[in-house]
Amino acid sequence: MNLIDTIKNQLFSDGHLNQLSSLIGADAGATKSAVGAAMPAVVAALSNVASKGNGAQKVVSALNRLDTGSLGNVAHMLSGQAESVQEQGSSLLSSLLGGSTVSGIANAVSKFSGIGPGAVQKLLGYLMPMILGGIAGRFAGKQATAQGLTSMLAEQKSAIANALPSGDRAVALGQTATPLRSACPCFVPRSHSITSGGLLKAGLKDTSRPSSRKATAWTALP
């Protein structure tokens, strides 16, 4: 199972999604949409950080500082220590991605999900330790290294691209995703026709009659 699906499956099981939606003050459906858009965007941004200079070592150092263990601790993270998890996640987002990238992701996800930017910022804070915990889980039983991290994220590139939203509602994310584009150069926008079936993905054919409108989809560079 790819990295994104592993984290989402843990988060969406055993009532964790309801806990998370309660913590940010949004309904479960909107929270699920926001998580689905935010998670691959954050992982893509981390992948970009890891691809430059000593960025991979910065991410590895953050992994080594985490005290969340595996994703099996999600329930504990969202209950007994939710506030400290959110604060830790927000600090990690700022130090690893930078404020402008985090704001860009939050604004794009807000438009996509209908949740206010402030609540999305809070959501990102909760998600960041879970995302890093998922990445750490890929190195279970062995030491995470900068080279190993870069290699693992490169292998996940297509899965990350496929996890980004599609369908007519993704137009909002694509049209406001300039900060994501600059933060995540491993993805490039491609213009596709919007049909009754939603936003077309690269390489897929649709026999329905397209409209004249265009929208931005995201695809991984080879």
**Contacts with 34 (C-beta within 8 Å, 6 or more apart), sequence order:** 26, 109, 110, 112, 113, 115, 120, 123
| 189, β-bridge pairs | 218
pLDDT in tens, 66-116: 764 544 566 566 777 788 888 888 999 999 999 989 999 999 899 889 999
Task: State which H helix or E strand residue 89 sits in.
Answer: helix 82-97
DSSP line for 121-180: HHHHHHHHHHHHHHHHHTTTTS---HHHHHHHHHHTHHHHHHHS--STTHHHHHHT-HHH
Structure pTM? Answer: 0.76
pLDDT in tens, 109-140: 998 899 999 999 999 999 998 899 889 888 87
Distance CA 66, CA 70 (A): 10
Burial of residue 140, with CB atoms counted within 10 A of its CB: 0-12 exposed, 13-18 middle, 19 or more buried: exposed
Q: Which of the four pLDDT bands, split at 50, 70 and 90, describes residue 201?
A: very low
Buried b (16+ CB within 10 A) or exposed e, 67-77: ebeebebbeeb
In 3-state terms the chain splits into helix, strand, coil percentages (rounded to 5) of 65, 10, 30
**Is the Cα torsion angle 38, 43, 49, 51 positive or negative in sign?**
negative
Q: Which of the four pLDDT bands, split at 50, 70 and 90, describes residue 166?
A: low
pLDDT of residue 69: 52
User: What DSSP designation does 65 have?
Assistant: H
**Three-class SS state of 216:** strand
Q: For residues 32-37, give the mean pLDDT.
A: 93
pLDDT(186) > 80: no
CB 37 within 8 A of CB 108: yes
Stronger pLDDT, 150 or 192, i.e. the higher one: 150
pLDDT(57) > 60: yes
Distance CA 51, CA 70 (A): 24
Tokens of 51: 């691809």
